[in-house]
Structure 1
Amino acid sequence: MPAICCCGTFCNGGSPLVVRLPATRWSPTSRKSLSRPTAQESFQLISLRRPRQPPTGNQPIPLPDNPSSQKKVFEICNDDDELSSEDSSCSPSDVLMLMDALRLPVEEDLYLSLIKECAESKNASHGAALYSHVRRTCPGLLRRPAGLLLANRFLQLFAAYGCSSAVLRLFDQMPLRDATSFAVVISSLSADGSHRQALHVFVEMHMRTGDRCLPVLEPRVCWLAALGVILRSCVHAGELYFGLQLHGLVIKVLGSCEGAVFGDLEDSLLQFYSKFQHQESAMSVFKRAISVSRSAGSWTSMITGYYRQGQFKEAIYLFREMGRAGKKRNFYILSSTLPACAKMRDAGWSGKQVHAIAIKLGASSDKFVCSSLVDMYMKHELPIEGQRAFDSMDGLRDYVCWNALLIGYAQRGYVVDAAKLLNKMKANGIEPQESTVNHFLMAFNGALYWNMD
């Protein structure tokens, strides 16, 4: 086997290895033999002069000695091959710049994916840059039927940013609109507080499409949500008759599947009728709804509606019926029922029953429930029970709870207890309002008057 000598040549047992090349006969006419070797021939000659190197194989990559640097390497080269949060600064704008630099067309699927990224990042500048890129590279795409899905996604993106003006501007430029387009615009206007404008958009849609505006052939879930938004807009705008007409339209078009529709729209309809004090209509809707589909919000709306109309006994009866139906009563329902118990003339008997249910459900430590309990006990002239409920709120007391106990003491003539509570209230850093101080002063003046007599 030839060995490498110190001179850099191959040797065979100490004697140089002679490489014999084929002899070429020289002739004066053959100038090719005297010309310079080509690049390939030079590379071959240089390769012959180099010593043979061992094969590299799969050698491990050397890691840095610094432990912090190793941690950074492992963060970058994790199992999912994803960059860490510190190094991931790629935005949708960067993706579009890269596609433009490579002169590659941006497909609709990529636009939809980038819109989703913009919505999750909640960065309005990225969404505006993406919309400008679509208008610049694909002019007229959003105005064609093929771009309806992309236009609806941009509507949802602008609505998520709270830019109702941008939603309306894009909506006006769309020649083709579907149920999703109208639903997004109505929801955006209602969330922005433009309730009357949301109703105008619904009227315009109904004039264009007629009864087909409701979810007969259109996406049903989308329209059921939109109808709930319109009913809430009727409440805020004070449009009672518009809501009644909308309810009639729902019954007219969807009378065959009335129970299912009322099951989805029940909360909005009950809130609508309760706000306008139409408790009989609300009860009619409540009875027509499927028992399984009645949510906690439906029961709460009915209880609150009865309380607003002064029908306290009916509100408490409905609370008991909810328990018999096997429905779970949450903290909000308990805090909505206790004010009705405070108005009952039963020496606090119904309130004590609700208090027992609250303890059983673990709601006695909730600040809203405890505030309602304190108010209920003090109105029934039960200061010991009210003080007990107040003491159970250690660390959860707010101004409402302090105010309920203080006014209860003042109205019942417990001036000394009210004064102690007022000082304790100031020591805890809670400043009483003027109405609370007035109640205390009136109680104090009354006590002085009776003592003088």
Structure 2
Amino acid sequence: MAPPPRLLPLLLGRLLVSGDLLRNTAHLRRIVPLLPSHPHLAASLSSLYFPLFPSSCIFLHNLLIRASATSPSPRIAFAAFSSILRSGDAPDRFTFPSLLKSASRLASFPRTGAQVHAQAVRRGFLIDVFVVNALLAMYAAFRDTASMREVFDSCAGVTDVVSWNTVLGGYVKCGDIRNAQMVFEEMPQRNGVSWSAMVGAYAGSGELDVAREMFDEMPAIGRNIVTWNSMITGFARHGLLPLARKMFDEMPVRNLVSWNTMIRGYAVNGEMDGARKLFDVMPEKDVVSWTCMISGYAQAGRYAETLELFREMQSESSARPNEVTMVSVLSACAHLTALEEGRWAHTYIDKHKMVLDNEFNLGAALIDMYAKCGKTDMAVKIFYSLDQKNVSAWNALITGLAVNGDVQDCIGVFEQMKRSGEKPNDITFVGVLTACAHSGLVDEGRRCFQSMSSTCRVQPEAKHYGCMVDMLGRAGLLEEAEELIRTMSMAPDVMVLGALLGACRMHKRFDVAERVQSEIIGLNTRQAGCHVLISDVYAAAGKWGEALDARRVLQKCTIRKLPGSSSSMR
């Protein structure tokens, strides 16, 4: 029985002191698979102690390389390989497959893989199918299909069905379906992996008719659960939920991935009631199942249900929430301004040592939650605690300060962002322009808007024009706002025109309002806020008949007034 990795240094110390490590290689054979968890020990043992056992040296090194290939420290494999070369031993056919697997996990360092490839060629190991397949898999992992194909063609006499499937999978991974199809057609024999790869490729690219045709042609024995799941994913991703559900119901056997795939399909298409019905009858649920539902509720704007389901997860499930789960929970807290629940979520994140500044943007979600709950001091504190501040974190703080009226701080953080080298994006400018609009900083807003395209290479969108029109309108500069709308590279939408109409009401500029309202009516919008504003503008001008007509349009269209839709324009 192998010792726990944390006790390895202590055990090694005792074996060295007693001399047992040198007397019995059985101890080393048990210890070597644990060495990747202690890189310094691995380097010392492989270079100093393995050579003391000439008959077992290459075996021990291969054991270490194989363990490293699946460990968090794949680089150890290359140190072990260097140790083999220094010891005077020659690597064998068992060395290279694991060494190439380690190299494939270092995709950002393709030169390392090329060096291993050169060693395998120089030592004549490309006559071994396991080495060839590992080499093909490495280039597929690097997305280097040219090198992958070159190896495949040069080793044609050595390849097997695994080789063909690896090349096929490499093309699929790179989205090169044309070459994948050519390989598929040339294959001397196909298995379930081959068919599944092609069905998944066509389904994933949206060519669902071809995917279904291949699925139907596929030998029944080759239809595995991966193939079924690929078809469900393809249909659901493109909004074809009835077809996805039909496939799901026809499956001879379902696994947890099948259930999660179907639930995710409902969720991403906003069909949360359908997702919940399926979720409630699942035979088992994991963190993915719960997170699909929680995230789906949050994205659908059903924030109370987001938090309710999260509480259920805590009380009824052994599945532990992950970073993705917590981002959705924090989003719900932010939209509901549920500060106490947000603080509890923050405590949970700290307790479980979740990382705040990785690709899940948990730190940005925390900043956003505290800012929307009015606790900008906590938002600032979390922001400056992040080791890595990406654009999402900067945007969360800038927007949070803007909506809380901390305008000077907002602009200060924006300037700091630019000095840091982080490039502002479209969301950044919405935050800054919103701050300028609400504080009357017209000159600052103009400079910011001008710098979008001239300095930051961000092309203004309708939302940015809406902020500018709102800012100019609040300042009474309605003619300038109208002129800005005329210069837009896209047609003004209801939010842009609505911002101008709100300014007309504020400043009693009924002449401008007349022009704007005709454009809004031309959009045939069903947004209640604009029709209410049109009615109010007419009423303020004493034009009661026109005001009543606008209200009738509102009722005729059976427009439901969205929460907050008019407040931002008043």
TM range (shorter): 0.5 to 0.7
Is 1:89 matched up with 2:119?
yes
Letter in 2 for 1:382: K
Q: Secondary structure at the match of 2:207?
A: helix
Q: Is the 8 A contact 1:91 1:126 kept in 2?
A: no
Q: Which of 371, 381, 398 is the matching residue for 2:374?
A: 381
In 1: Cα distance, 2:84 partner to 2:333 partner: 65
In 1: Cα distance, 2:290 partner to 2:414 partner: 38
Is 1:313 matched up with 2:331?
no
Letter in 2 for 1:200: V
Residue matched to 1:414: 406
Q: Is the 8 A contact 2:202 2:210 kept in 1?
A: no
Task: Say if 1:131 and 1:341 are closer, same or farther in 2 by CA, change over 3 A.
Answer: same
Task: Say if 1:398 and 1:171 are closer, same or farther in 2 by CA, change over 3 A.
Answer: closer
Deviations 1:175-206 (A, max 9, x none): 9754332102123445xx52215x52333432
Residues 39-438 of structure 1 aligned to structure 2 (within 5 Å):
75=86, 77-78=88-89, 89-91=119-121, 111=129, 114-122=132-140, 124=145, 127-128=148-149, 132=153, 150-151=160-161, 153-161=163-171, 162=174, 163-173=176-186, 177-190=190-203, 194-197=205-208, 199-206=209-216, 208=217, 213=220, 217-218=221-222, 223-250=224-251, 253-254=252-253, 261-291=254-284, 294-324=285-315, 325-346=317-338, 348-363=339-354, 365-366=356-357, 368-393=361-386, 395-430=387-422, 432=424, 433-438=428-433
Letter in 2 for 1:91: V
Task: Say if 1:414 and 1:290 are closer, same or farther in 2 by CA, change over 3 A.
Answer: same
Letter in 1 for 2:274: S
Letter in 2 for 1:397: K
Task: Say if 1:164 and 1:112 are closer, same or farther in 2 by CA, change over 3 A.
Answer: farther
Q: Is the 8 A contact 1:312 1:343 kept in 2?
A: yes
Task: Say if 1:91 and 1:241 are closer, same or farther in 2 by CA, change over 3 A.
Answer: farther
In 2: Cα distance, 1:369 partner to 1:400 partner: 10
Task: Say if 1:92 and 1:269 are closer, same or farther in 2 by CA, change over 3 A.
Answer: farther
Task: Say if 1:304 and 1:133 are closer, same or farther in 2 by CA, change over 3 A.
Answer: same
Letter in 1 for 2:260: D
Residue matched to 1:445: 440
**How does the TM-score come out when normalised to structure 1?**
0.63
In 2: Cα distance, 1:376 partner to 1:305 partner: 18
Q: Is the 8 A contact 2:297 2:303 kept in 1?
A: yes
Letter in 2 for 1:245: K
Q: Is the 8 A contact 2:407 2:436 kept in 1?
A: no
Unpaired runs of 5+ residues, structure 1, are 1-70, 100-109, 139-148, 255-260
In 1: Cα distance, 2:150 partner to 2:385 partner: 55
Q: Is the 8 A contact 1:93 1:126 kept in 2?
A: no
Q: CA deviation at 1:338?
A: 0.6
Deviations 1:246-269 (A, max 9, x none): 12212xx34xxxxxx242312211
In 1: Cα distance, 2:255 partner to 2:117 partner: 51
**How does the TM-score come out when normalised to structure 2?**
0.51
Q: Secondary structure at the match of 1:270?
A: helix
The alignment covers a number of residue pairs equal to 333
Deviations 1:381-404 (A, max 9, x none): 2222222222322x3222222222
In 2: Cα distance, 1:319 partner to 1:426 partner: 38
Letter in 2 for 1:158: L
Residue matched to 2:464: none
Q: CA deviation at 1:134?
A: 7.8
Is the helix fraction higher in 1 or 2?
2
Deviations 1:53-84 (A, max 9, x none): xxxxxxxxxxxxxxxxxx99962622756899
Deviations 1:114-159 (A, max 9, x none): 3343223546456545655687x79xxxxxxxxxx94464133232
Greater shift, 164-173 or 267-276, is seen at 164-173
In 2: Cα distance, 1:200 partner to 1:336 partner: 36
Q: CA deviation at 1:369?
A: 1.6
Deviations 1:346-401 (A, max 9, x none): 4x1211111111121122744622211111111122222222222322x3222222
Letter in 1 for 2:119: S
Q: Secondary structure at the match of 1:317?
A: helix
In 2: Cα distance, 1:185 partner to 1:269 partner: 21
Q: Is the 8 A contact 1:93 1:130 kept in 2?
A: no
Deviations 1:226-262 (A, max 9, x none): 2222222223333233212212212xx34xxxxxx24
Unpaired runs of 5+ residues, structure 2, are 1-81, 97-114, 443-470, 476-570
Percent identical among aligned pairs is 18
**Aligned-CA RMSD value:** 3.8
In 2: Cα distance, 1:73 partner to 1:382 partner: 59
Q: Is the 8 A contact 1:232 1:268 kept in 2?
A: yes
Q: Secondary structure at the match of 1:355?
A: helix
In 2: Cα distance, 1:126 partner to 1:418 partner: 50
Q: Is the 8 A contact 1:112 1:150 kept in 2?
A: no
Q: Secondary structure at the match of 2:310?
A: helix
Greater shift, 124-133 or 398-407, is seen at 124-133
